[in-house]
Amino acid sequence: MSIFPIPASVSKRIDALRRKFFWQGSEDKKKYHLVKWEELLVDKKAGGLSIRNMKKQNRSLMMKWLWKFATDEGMLWKEAIVAKYGLEDKWMTKIVTTPYGCSVWRAIRNLWPLMQIRTTVKIRNGH
């Protein structure tokens, strides 16, 4: 889940199983839903159960690879990706435009604009 994008159909199926487990348990008979699923996803401090949203969790785990790419120096996997796709700048590879090859890095690389929006860099004087 940390490197491959979860297909929407798989994510929906996993969520359906999680909802069924929470609302029905191991029984096969239907029960009433006393609370909306979205409310269970809310943080515990705000009254929810902190159940993770699968799609957001998958995206954040894939974005960790972008952070590793930007910060890890001398890693073999990074060197292989740079050799294949080339660098756009110090932080990221060029956009993957080829229809062939490894779709894993293409999916991760496509998250770069979102990563840029949500990341800030602070430069201080060291105190």
What are the residue ranges spanned by the domains of the chain?
A: 8-54, 59-118
Distance of CA 97 to the CA centre of its chain: 21
Cα 15–Cα 108–Cα 57 angle in degrees, nearest 5: 30
Q: Which parts of the chain sit beneath pLDDT 50?
A: none
**Quick one: pLDDT at residue 58?**
92
For residue 48, what is the DSSP state? S
For residue 104, what is the DSSP state? H
What is the token pair recorded at 4? Answer: 């491959």
**Quick one: pLDDT at residue 21?**
82
**Quick one: pLDDT at residue 25?**
67
Angle between helices 8-24 and 54-71 (to 10 degrees): 130
**Quick one: pLDDT at residue 101?**
63
Distance of CA 100 to the CA centre of its chain: 23
**Quick one: pLDDT at residue 37?**
84
The whole-angstrom separation of Cα 126 and Cα 100 is 46
